[in-house]
Amino acid sequence: MKDLMGKAIWDFYHNENPEDLQTETSISELDELPVDYLFRGFEEMNEIEQQALQLAQGKVLDIGAGAGSHSLYLQNKKELDVVALDISPKSIEICKLRGVKNAVCKNMLEFSGETFDTIILLMNGTGIFESLANIDTYLQKLHSLLNENGQILIDSTDILYMFDRDEDGGVYIPAGGYYGELDYVVHYKGDSEEPIKWLYLDFNTLKNAAENNGFKIEKVLQYEDSYLARLIKK
């Protein structure tokens, strides 16, 4: 992994000629991701993020922590015990430099030894599942990381709106897989990561998977085509 996201975060923090990231998926064109957005404060976060942070309680695991903005709010404003987790070495270094007290560079499937009252996965948190085939593996791992009655706060987007429709309103969906399974590519300073699998989930599909893996689930917030879900460990 080239860790281009981490490099952009590193460059921005150290003011070493940062540039905006570019992202694209198998069904969308290049899109700009301003690197300063990854350093935003609570006031600049969207409604889903703000709601998730307000619902977080107890000991918290922030999966996909990036530059640490969510972790810092929970640690400094809500005075919670937070572990920031990310597979990006440079991002975790910046988390630490920004003041996150406990930041770990590791894949969540390989992380163990602690349990939590709240786990947050934000900015399309279901993306980490990669594909429908992997959902059970990830949900079972998340279940094992939660204390009794612990909660997961996770967001996603139903991307059905991105597909063409016919005159009768039917949607043209490619055959051979779930429409939310995409290839995702990050570009930075003329370099590109290898495509990764990234999963966007409609709520009903997440609901079925969650209930099959020992969770109660509720939709906390709907914002346009995106939503925030809370999974409670049974």
User: Would you say residue 218 lies in a domain?
Assistant: yes
Q: How far apart are CA 154 and CA 219, in angstroms?
A: 10
The answer to the question of residue 168 being in a domain is no
pTM equals: 0.94
> CA-CA distance, 61 to 106, in Å (whole number)?
12
Q: What is the DSSP string of 46-106?
A: -HHHHHHHHH--SSEEEET-TTSHHHHIIIIIS---EEEEES-HHHHHHHHHHT-SSEEES
The separation between CA 106 and the C-alpha centre of its own chain, rounded to angstroms, equals 15
Residue 94 located in a structural domain: yes
164, part of any domain: no
For residue 166, is it within any domain?
no
Tell which residue, 195, 148, 157, has the closest CA to residue 179: 157
Range of 73's domain? 4-159+174-233
Q: Confirm whether 65 is domain-assigned.
A: yes
Cβ atoms of 30 and 187 within 8 Å: the answer is yes
32 falls within a domain: yes
Mean pLDDT of 136-152: 97
DSSP for 113-137, please give it: S--EEEEEETTTGGGGG-SGGGHHH
The count of structural domains within the chain is 1
Tens digits of residue pLDDT in 156-206? 999 987 766 666 655 556 666 798 999 999 999 999 999 999 999 999 999
Cα 84 to the center of its chain, rounded Å: 12
Return the DSSP state at 176: S
CATH of the domain at 202: 3.40.50.150
pLDDT tens per residue, range 90-135: 999 999 999 999 999 999 999 999 999 999 999 999 999 999 999 9
Q: Does residue 190 form part of some domain?
A: yes
Per-residue CA distances from 95 to 66, 109, 110, 208 (Å): 8, 21, 20, 34
What pLDDT, in 10s, does the model give residues 46-102? Answer: 999 999 999 999 999 999 999 999 999 999 999 999 999 999 999 999 999 999 999
Three-class SS state of 17: coil
